[in-house]
A and B are shown apart, each in its own frame.
Chain A
């Protein structure tokens, strides 16, 4: 096995890993701060990709608006739209379930997932529609010495890493972030200090959803946009969160990247195991370190 092959597969693994990291980050933020197991996270990712696709290809055909929303605009607009949907879901539905067991939130968000998937399967090909809006400036190939790597994928890796670490920095090292964490730790006391905890919770959920939408836009030019793209990914992402430690921000990011790499390298050594290696690791982590690699025992 040459070094060249291993490096190439590792880079591809990292490519998958940044998507794991971005999605598990959103899940971890929502779980850590709101205690909700958000099953609709994959659907938000799918929705992000579809809004970008519709904005680029279908606005004129469907709505008679002769505007085309390009990739860069989507990168900003789509997370806002998906975040807005997050606000709606949190305010109208999830809010009523906070006093109940976690399982109710999980069931509700699972239902939302099925509705969104069904809706898009009705109008779009299940096997995927290509997103043609990849910007010209990112369409080339970079010669890395050991392989040719598409510029766009390189951009997706760097961009996602920046977003992940900015989020971590924001939550762990800024004043607003510390207030957010205080609101989680002791909502009543925090509210007594005059902070609007319900608003913080809504915005956190919206932020998590927006992050998933952003990952969807980034994924659209690489993979085909399909109603099931989120469902395919969400189970793996849950495993990533469990391995990283439920609620740990840095844990979600690092384990997302690491597991992408592990999956990529498994494809070199024993391809049939590539789709299961993450779950195998999850079982090991649950057996020997139930709180996850970066989680704190409670």
Chain B
């Protein structure tokens, strides 16, 4: 028994040494491309990424023709349950045992940081579409980590700037108590203060709090002009709904959702959400191209795509293009190619992936429509202005990423 086991091991090592040079020489390491979608499939972020991200990735693969260089493209997905340890152990299994070539989705910043760190050691490309923290491309940047859709620098630039300029000088934050929330609060606070505003208070609420009333009342009594919600998903929805129950907006304070998705607006309804301003990377009915893709997505998913869903489609498509053009799945080669490409599709126009991994693209400041302005169930947003990529994202001159400076 022991002898067989030893023989097997020797065989495996021999096989590994044989395949390695092959990959570098320009072929697919295991005769296929496998894309992993690691997302929150059951918790607070389910509706903004989750199962919809798997559908978006499948659509990208189908539109690409289902194969690259005559080899099949496969997809694998799992639930990280918003737990960094579960995310990292799943990613480790995918990389070590299931030959995954690229991991995408990765909503939840804590999970994203742990998986990107692991993938850096294993030399696997991650294309993060769901997490917000700028640490992914700043302090903890990776030569294989790409941050694709939005970050906590891009979000406040549009929203906070617009609100401070309209007189919202004093801010109080309700912050989701983990990496993403803290990062969003700090970056938003910096924008507010740089424009002459002031942060008068902050309270940290645990992830998936269902009763925000006492935090909202603290915000109310702080005398702030604006209550900044440095959270996302169901947390944002609950906070805005409860603010409505306690008549916070009617009493004269403004709410600023720092990260709001179209699914959140849909779930709140226009009566509650109208007038809310936020920053997004994608509006499904902005033009014919986005509308055509979004309607296909809607047919399969039953809801219109969030910016994250559209981002997954775009990221997977561009990854496959880079593999096709370089003729290999070697991470260094593919990453170099992605850095040279100018990204153009229904999601992004003229996008560039910077050396720190940040995908630089335009963002949009939008406002939720009044019920009277909406023509259909998902006709929810007006685009107010475009935020150019160079304003939205941290410039290569200012980045703290060790790969650049």
Chain A residues in contact with chain B, CB under 8 A? 2, 4-5, 8-9, 12, 15-16, 121, 125-128, 130, 141, 147-150, 222-224, 226, 229, 264, 267-268, 271-272, 275
Contact = CB atoms under 8 A, between A and B. Distances in A.
**Consensus secondary structure, chain B interface:** mixed
Interface string B131-167: 0000000000000000000000000000000000000
Contacts of A148: 246-247, 251
A15 B217 CA distance: 14
B245 A141 contact: yes
A125 B42 contact: yes
A114 B203 CA distance: 33
Which residue, B46, B214, B233, has most C-beta atoms of chain A within 10 A? B214
A217 B221 CA distance: 31
A119 B218 CA distance: 38
Contacts of A229: 210
B210 A226 contact: yes
Nearest to A121: B42
B208 interface: yes
B126 interface: no
A2 B245 contact: no
A67 B247 CA distance: 33
Given A148-B247, A226-B210, A8 B217 contact: yes
B24 interface: no
A250 B203 CA distance: 35
Contact of A224 (B210, B221, B233, B246): B210
Contact of B221 (A2, A12, A130, A264): A2
Contacts of A126: 42-43
Contacts of B208: 127-128
A12 B213 contact: yes
A5 B217 contact: yes
21 contacts: A8-B217, A8-B221, A125-B46, A127-B42, A127-B44, A127-B233, A127-B234, A128-B234, A141-B245, A141-B246, A147-B246, A148-B246, A148-B251, A149-B246, A150-B245, A229-B210, A267-B215, A267-B218, A268-B218, A271-B203, A271-B218
Contacts of A275: 206
A128 B221 CA distance: 29
B217 A147 contact: yes
- What 5 pairs between A and B have smallest CB-CB spacing? A148-B247, A127-B44, A5-B221, A223-B210, A150-B245
A171 to B, nearest CB: 31
Interface of B: 42-44, 46, 203-204, 206, 208, 210-211, 213-215, 217-218, 221, 233-234, 238, 245-247, 251, 267
B217 A12 contact: yes
Contact of B43 (A4, A127, A268): A127
Nearest to B235: A127
Contacts, number: 60
A149 B251 CA distance: 13
Given A147-B217, A224-B234, 20 more contacts: A2-B221, A5-B218, A8-B221, A9-B214, A12-B214, A16-B211, A125-B46, A127-B43, A127-B233, A141-B247, A148-B246, A222-B211, A223-B210, A224-B210, A264-B214, A267-B218, A268-B218, A271-B203, A271-B204, A275-B206
Nearest to B268: A130
Nearest to A141: B247
Nearest to A151: B245
Given A5-B217, A128-B234, A268-B218, A150 B211 contact: no
A5 B217 CA distance: 7
Contacts of B203: 271
B379 to A, nearest CB: 22
Contact of A128 (B210, B214, B245, B251): B210
Contacts of B233: 127
A146 B217 CA distance: 11
Contacts of B46: 125, 127
A23 B187 CA distance: 42
Nearest to B246: A148
A28 to B, nearest CB: 24
B210 A272 contact: no
A267 B206 CA distance: 13
A141 B217 CA distance: 15
A40 B206 CA distance: 25
A128 B238 CA distance: 10
A229 B247 CA distance: 26
A271 B247 CA distance: 23
Given A141-B245, A224-B238, A267 B214 contact: yes
A12 B238 CA distance: 16
B209 to A, nearest CB: 10
A99 to B, nearest CB: 41
